[in-house]
């Protein structure tokens, strides 16, 4: 078997076009231009690339992006002050604090300072709770991208065994929460999974992953998923982004696994571009929610 390669790049491009049209209509109705503020601390080269991609994607979709660069020696207190300003700025709708932050910074404290209404990463406890309860305000960008790609290719997963490797707050945990729901708006066939969430302490990892109908790798370790860990005819989603000798690779040993799987995502060109498209979606949603809030206040 040779796997279908799931094209995240073209799927993301289609989604961005749809979002751009919605932004256009939104502006025609006389609303404010959706604006994302991205906070980048220090000079991590990978973060520079992501943030630049996000900026470019925003502009192409008709949104504003405001990049706020801070030196690596910025203090936690200074970031808290910056976030208070952005929270209070009515021209800023979405706020993203690019991770990882320098080790000297209290990351949790900084993330907690982002207003839940502007939290386009869906990291805030309130937004995580709403998602767990099946009534999300924002869908987390990378997990949302995974589901959008499965929807695009008609790869239904209701009742299937989805095995996620990696329990991060940015991918593994929220994706598990999404896939287990009854319906998040993609239809019940793109929900209702039987989800197993694995991590570094899981015993017999390969025995579990071999039972996966859909296997998601989200750890950040090259070649973590080898062919012996994959069921014939399964769907393999590689969320890993690793730089090896200046080359970008995922967490999956791609060539041997692609000979077993029915469908597989490449790296690059898989989930990464979808993450950015879903960030644009959340920025538009943020702008719409804040316009509603303003209207409610005026009607008081």
Ligand X SMILES: Nc1nc(=O)c2c([nH]1)NC[C@@H]1CN(c3ccc(C(=O)N[C@@H](CCC(=O)O)C(=O)O)cc3)C=[N+]21
Catalytic-role residue among 7, 119, 121, 251: 121
- Indicate which of ligand X, Mg ion, none lies near residue 162 (CB less than 5 to 8 Å, by partner kind): none
66 known member of a binding site: no
Task: Give the N- to C-terminal CA distance of the chain in Å, as an integer.
Answer: 62
Angle at 270 between CA 129 and CA 216, to 5 degrees: 50
Q: Distance between CA 283 and CA 296 in Å, rounded?
A: 20
The encoded tokens of residue 124 equal: 């805030």
Q: Which stretch binds ligand X (CB under 6 A): 66-74, 204-212, 271-279, 280-288?
A: 271-279
CA angle 133, 144, 125 (to 5 degrees): 40
Binding of residue 181 to ligand X (CB under 6 A): no
Among 96, 124, 164, 249, binds ligand X (CB under 6 A): 96
Query: How many residues in the shown chain lie near ligand X by CB under 6 A?
Result: 19
Applying CB under 6 A, among 79, 198, 216, 276 the residue interacting with ligand X is 276
Counting contacts by CB under 6 A, is residue 273 touching ligand X? Answer: yes
Q: Which residue is nearest to ligand X (CB)?
A: 272
| Structure token pair of residue 242 | 């690793």
Binding span for ligand X by CB under 6 A among 13-21, 156-164, 214-222, 263-271:
263-271
* Catalytic-labelled residue, pool 7, 54, 118, 119: 54
Q: Give CA–CA dist 179/203, Å, rounded.
A: 23
Q: Does 98 qualify as catalytic in the annotation?
A: yes
Q: Return the closest-CA partner of residue 178 out of 130, 212, 250, 210.
A: 130
Buried/exposed code over 24-40 (b: 16+ C-beta within 10 A; e: otherwise): eebeeeeeeebbbbbbb
Q: Does 168 carry a binding-site annotation?
A: yes
Alpha-carbon distance 98 to 100, whole Å? 6
Q: SS3 for 11? A: helix
User: What distance in Å separates the CA atoms of residue 2 and residue 134, rounded to the nearest whole number?
Assistant: 36
Question: Shortest gap between Cβ of 298 and ligand X (angstroms)?
Answer: 32
Work out how close the CB of 108 gets to Mg ion at its nearest, in angstroms, rounded to a whole number.
8
Among 4, 53, 115, 196, binds ligand X (CB under 6 A): 53
Q: Which of 11, 65, 98, 127 binds ligand X (CB under 6 A)?
A: 98
If contact means CB under 5 to 8 A according to the sort of partner, which of Mg ion, ligand X, none does residue 6 touch?
none
For 299, other C-beta atoms within 10 Å of its C-beta total 6
213 annotated active-site:
no
Q: What residue ranges bind ligand X (CB under 6 A)?
A: 49-50, 53, 96-99, 121, 141, 241, 248, 267-270, 272-273, 275-276
Detail the residues annotated as belonging to a binding site for NADP(+).
166-168, 241
Q: Residues with catalytic annotation?
A: 54, 98, 121
């Amino acid at each position: 078997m040779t796997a279908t390669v799931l094209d995240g790049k073209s799927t993301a491009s289609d989604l961005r076009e749809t979002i751009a049209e919605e932004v256009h209509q939104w502006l025609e109705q006389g609303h404010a231009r959706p604006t994302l503020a991205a906070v980048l601390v220090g000079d991590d080269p990978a973060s520079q690339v992501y943030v630049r991609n996000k900026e470019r994607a925003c502009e192409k979709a008709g949104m504003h992006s405001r990049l706020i660069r801070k030196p690596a020696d910025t203090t936690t207190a200074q970031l808290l002050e910056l976030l208070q300003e952005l929270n209070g700025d009515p021209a800023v709708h979405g706020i993203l604090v690019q991770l990882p932050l320098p080790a000297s910074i209290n990351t949790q404290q900084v993330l907690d300072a982002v207003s839940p209404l502007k939290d386009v990463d869906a990291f805030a406890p309130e937004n995580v709770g709403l998602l767990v309860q099946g009534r999300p305000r924002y869908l987390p960008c990378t997990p949302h991208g995974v589901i959008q790609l499965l929807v695009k290719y008609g790869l239904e997963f209701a009742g299937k065994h989805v095995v996620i490797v990696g329990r991060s707050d940015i991918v593994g945990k929220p994706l598990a929460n999404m896939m287990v729901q009854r319906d998040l708006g993609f239809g019940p066939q793109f929900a209702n999974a039987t989800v197993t969430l694995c991590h570094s302490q899981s015993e017999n990892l390969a025995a579990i992953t071999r039972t996966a109908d859909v296997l998601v790798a989200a750890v950040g370790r090259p070649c973590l998923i080898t062919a012996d860990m994959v069921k014939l005819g399964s769907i393999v989603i590689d969320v890993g982004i690793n730089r090896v000798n200046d080359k970008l690779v995922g967490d999956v040993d791609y060539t041997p696994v692609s000979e077993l799987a029915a469908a597989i995502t490449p790296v690059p060109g898989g989930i990464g571009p979808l993450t950015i498209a879903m960030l644009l979606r959340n920025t538009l949603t943020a702008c719409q929610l804040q316009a509603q809030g303003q209207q409610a206040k005026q009607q008081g």
